[in-house]
C-alpha cells in the first residue's frame, strides 16, 4: 500500500493524540491481551480543577515560572493551566514567592552634626564633652563664667544653671548676688555690670573699652577691663 506523505502525517498525528489522551486505556488493553507494548505510553496529565480564589495583587507570572522550573514543567505538561493556577492550588501553602522582592529603600545619609550645642545639658561635663566632639569654635559661658574658649571670634553662647543643676540656654530667675561674689565674665549691659559691682561691693576699677566707668577704691589692685561683643553685651577681656 502506497500512502502519501500527508496521509502518513495525519495518521501519525491521530495516533499521537490517541496515545496521549487514552494511553493508559490502551496499555490496559494490551496488558489484558498479554501484549507488552514496545514503547511505554506517556503519562496522561490530570489537570487540577480551575481555581476559585483570585491571585494576590502583583502576582508575576513570568517571575513565578522562571523562579520555579518544576512549576513551569508541570504547566507545560498540562497539570496546571498557568503559574497562577499552581500558586492558588499549591504554591500558597508551599510558601512560594509570587513576585520579585522589592528593592530595599535607600539608606538616608546620616544627619549632619549641628554646628551649635543643644539647648540643654545635664551637667557641665556633658556640655564640654559635646563641645569637644563638635570641635566647637564658639566661646561658651555658664552663668557668666567662661568654660569654653572656642576661637575667640564672634559672640559667646550663654548657658545658665538651673536649681537642679541642668544647664539651659534660657536664663532662669535671677539669683541674688551678695558681697564677696566674683564678677561674672559677661553682662547683658553696662548697667547690669555696674549694678553687680555694687551688689558684690567690688573695690577694683572697671574700664569699658579703655574708659573708666567705675573708679577703684583700692589703688594697689589692678583694674578690670571689659569690652562689648557683637551682641552689645559687656564681657571681660
User: DSSP string spanning 203-218?
Assistant: -S-EEETTEEEE--S-
In this prediction, residue 61 carries a pLDDT of: 92
Phi–psi pair at 159, nearest 5 degrees:
-120, 155
Residue numbers in the chain where pLDDT is lower than 70? 1-17, 19-24, 27, 30, 35-53, 111-116, 152-155, 170-175, 217-222, 229-231
In this prediction, residue 67 carries a pLDDT of: 93
Eight-class DSSP state of 191 = H
In this prediction, residue 97 carries a pLDDT of: 92
In this prediction, residue 38 carries a pLDDT of: 55
In this prediction, residue 201 carries a pLDDT of: 78
* CA–CA distance, 159 with 161 (Å, rounded to integer): 7
User: Which contacts of 59-66 are long-range, i.e. CB under 8 A and separated by 24 or more positions?
Assistant: 59/84, 59/87, 59/98, 59/99, 60/98, 60/99, 60/100, 63/98, 63/99, 63/100, 64/91, 64/96, 64/98, 64/99
Q: What residue spans define the domains of the chain?
A: 1-44, 53-101, 114-175, 177-237
* CA–CA distance, 230 with 166 (Å, rounded to integer): 27
Do the beta carbons of residue 122 and residue 161 sit within 8 Å? no
In this prediction, residue 157 carries a pLDDT of: 82
Amino acid at each position: 500500500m502506497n500512502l502519501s506523505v500527508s496521509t502518513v502525517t495525519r495518521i501519525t498525528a491521530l495516533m499521537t493524540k490517541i496515545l496521549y489522551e487514552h494511553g493508559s486505556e490502551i496499555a490496559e488493553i494490551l496488558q489484558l491481551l498479554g501484549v507488552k507494548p514496545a514503547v511505554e505510553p506517556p503519562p496522561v496529565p490530570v489537570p487540577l480543577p480551575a481555581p476559585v480564589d483570585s491571585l494576590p495583587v502583583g502576582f508575576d507570572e513570568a517571575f513565578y515560572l522562571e523562579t520555579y522550573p518544576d512549576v513551569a514543567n508541570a504547566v507545560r505538561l498540562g497539570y496546571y493551566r498557568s503559574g497562577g493556577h499552581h500558586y492558588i492550588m499549591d504554591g500558597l501553602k508551599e510558601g512560594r514567592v509570587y513576585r520579585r522582592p522589592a528593592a530595599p529603600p535607600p539608606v538616608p545619609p546620616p544627619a549632619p552634626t549641628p554646628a551649635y550645642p543643644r539647648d540643654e545639658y545635664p551637667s557641665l561635663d556633658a556640655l564640654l564633652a559635646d563641645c569637644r566632639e563638635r570641635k566647637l569654635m564658639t566661646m561658651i559661658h555658664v552663668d557668666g563664667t567662661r568654660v569654653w574658649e572656642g576661637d575667640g571670634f564672634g559672640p559667646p553662647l550663654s548657658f545658665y544653671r538651673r536649681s537642679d543643676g541642668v544647664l539651659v540656654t534660657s536664663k532662669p530667675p535671677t539669683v541674688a548676688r551678695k558681697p564677696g561674689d566674683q564678677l561674672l565674665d559677661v553682662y547683658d549691659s553696662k548697667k547690669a555690670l555696674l549694678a553687680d559691682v555694687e551688689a558684690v561691693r567690688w573695690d577694683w576699677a572697671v574700664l569699658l573699652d579703655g574708659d573708666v566707668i567705675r573708679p577703684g577704691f583700692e589703688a594697689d589692685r589692678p583694674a578690670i577691663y571689659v569690652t562689648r561683643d557683637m551682641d552689645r553685651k559687656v564681657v571681660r577681656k
